[in-house]
Amino acid sequence: MLKFNVYLYNTRKLESFCAFMVTQAPFRYPFLRHLSIAGFYPMPSSESISQLVEILTHASRLQTLHLSCYDLLKSDHRLQAACSSLTSIKEFHMCWNEGPVFQAQDPLYKMLKQMQSPLVRADLRFFRCNDGIGLDLATLLHSTATLEDLTVSNIAFQSELQFPRLRKLSFSTINYPPLALTARIFPNLTDLTILRDMDHLNAENDRYRQLNRSVQLAGGGWTSLDRLTGWPLDLYSLGLTCPIRCVKIFVYSHNHELVADILSDCRPSQIDIVFNDIFPSVRCLSDEVAARLTYLRCTIHLIYFDRNPIALVSATHYAFRRLVADTMM
């Protein structure tokens, strides 16, 4: 049983799990492989917390750890120390939006920075960062040589560290990241997702796009990507001109016109478009892009059309009459 994911999502589950583990302590501790701990209300007893500390301290083969229990971790520094001291973690997820986060003071930031496990995959979702900076990549210094997959919200591209093994990056950030710096930090990236979801095109977007195109003309950036995902405004502003095999775009009515520029820039052979709104019938695929396509997928999120049959007909007409017809498939 301990080889599968153990999911502790309430106080009763936690106390039952701890009682089970300590019954044959320390024999059962090394058999724990995957552990997820969610938020608790009411808080567990001090005895259960002490037992959990004991379990984590001796879980020498724990490979996956998911934490969304900010209040619990914050309540006892021993839990933070136990998580940091683990050396076998390969996949680490940490998420909370319980309140403002200040990197210099927050216990989970400190815990992450002090971790002794060389992570292969990390999913770090810190919301409401009050210092306005975002997660400093130096926090992941312990995993620069091993990290392959990183998802992070509110990231700050300030460090000159390199993650040579990282292939997949998904992030959100307040400001657009410098392309040249990002490519130096992640030189072997193949899969990039940007989820900023900004609303309207402005002069700053055009300046950022032109800067990135200049960087690429000078030999900076990546030579190719396997996959690129994001909202039209973000991908347009990023302005990647390297070959990209597959592009996935989430389209709203007010930014559909940017799609044609994005696809012309990176010349994908596979396109995945997700429609999230009502939109006019416009041509997104140029003849050059259509001629290169080997795969086209159109997804309509019906929830956004609010049972409006006219909107649904419009969406269906656009997706299947315009896009599919344009590709001559």
Q: Do the domain assignments include residue 37?
A: no
| pLDDT tens per residue across span 194-229 | 987 566 677 888 899 999 999 999 999 999 999 999
Q: Do the domain assignments include residue 315?
A: yes
| pLDDT tens per residue across span 27-52 | 899 999 999 998 777 888 899 999 99
CA angle 234, 263, 166 (to 5 degrees): 60
222 and 183 in contact (C-beta within 8 Å)? yes
Closest CA to 117 of 86, 138, 151, 76: 86
Q: Do the domain assignments include residue 256?
A: yes
Q: Do the domain assignments include residue 181?
A: no
For 70-133, the DSSP string reads HHHHHH-HHHHHHHHH-S---EEEEEE-SS-B-TTT-HHHHHHHT--S--SEEEEEE--BTTSS
Q: Is 310 exposed, middle or buried (0-12, 13-18, 19+ CB in 10 A)?
A: exposed
Number of domains in the chain: 1
What is the DSSP pairing of strand 135-136 with strand 168-171?
Answer: unpaired
Task: Evaluate if residue 64 carries a pLDDT over 90.
Answer: yes
Closest CA to 296 of 228, 248, 230, 242: 248
| pLDDT tens per residue across span 253-280 | 666 678 888 998 998 999 998 877 655 5
> What is the model's pLDDT at position 40?
74
73 and 103 in contact (C-beta within 8 Å)? no
Least confident of 77-86, 127-136, 139-148, 296-305: 127-136
Percent of all residues in the chain with a pLDDT value above 90, rounded to a whole number: 46
Task: Specify the higher pLDDT residue, 128 or 329.
Answer: 128
79 and 55 in contact (C-beta within 8 Å)? no
Percent of all residues in the chain with a pLDDT value above 70, rounded to a whole number: 80
Task: Evaluate if residue 180 carries a pLDDT over 60.
Answer: yes
Q: Do the domain assignments include residue 269?
A: yes
Query: Can you tell me the distance from the alpha carbon of 270 to that of 247, in angstroms, rounded to the nearest whole number?
Result: 6
Q: Do the domain assignments include residue 306?
A: yes
Give the domain range for residue 205: 201-329
> What is the model's pLDDT at position 178?
85
Task: Evaluate if residue 114 carries a pLDDT over 60.
Answer: yes
Task: Evaluate if residue 306 carries a pLDDT over 70.
Answer: no
Q: Do the domain assignments include residue 173?
A: no
Q: Do the domain assignments include residue 292?
A: yes
